[in-house]
Amino acid sequence: MTPATRQKVLGLYRKIFQIARKWQSASGQTEETIKEKEYIKNEAKTLFRKNKHVTDPKLIKQCIEECEARIEIGLHYNIPYPRPIHLPPMGLAHKQSRTLRHQEKLRKISKPIYLKSHDEVS
């Protein structure tokens, strides 16, 4: 990892903890705010520790982009949890048909960047 990339990653880590320190839940309830602050901290620790041994520059860049996207979406919607994707259910195709495989492929491709790591951790 280059020194510039390292600085960017550490800056994002610090930014997340600053956000967690100042975080206020949308409901304004104290216990809800505390729970959301803990979620932000635990999610950051888990994902950064999971990816600390990543050395591929492309993968590092992808992780940085995901982190930035999750920060922006969380601040915009005032919800620390990842927003689910809204895709139609795959209930119309038969299990062995080409349509099902095509729908699964489209579903995989259309997954937003901010949800890439969420399925792996949850």
Domain that holds residue 41: 3-84
113 within some domain: no
Residue 66 lies in a domain: yes
Q: What is the residue-wise DSSP string for 78-95?
A: T--SPPPP----STTS-T
- Answer yes or no: is 116 within a domain: no
pLDDT digits (tens, 9 = 90+) for 14-27: 999 999 999 999 88
What is the total count of domains within the chain?
1
Give the per-residue pLDDT at 87: 52
Establish if 104 belongs to a structural domain.
no
Contacts of 71 (CB under 8 A, 6+ apart): 12, 15, 16, 19
Q: Check if the beta carbon of residue 51 is closer than 8 Å to that of residue 63.
A: yes
Residue 56 lies inside a defined structural domain of this protein: yes
Higher pLDDT, 45 or 111: 45
| Amino acid in the structure at residue 19 | I
* Residue 121 belongs to a domain: no
- What digits encode the pLDDT tens for the residues 36-92? 999 999 999 999 999 999 999 999 999 999 899 889 989 998 988 876 665 555 555
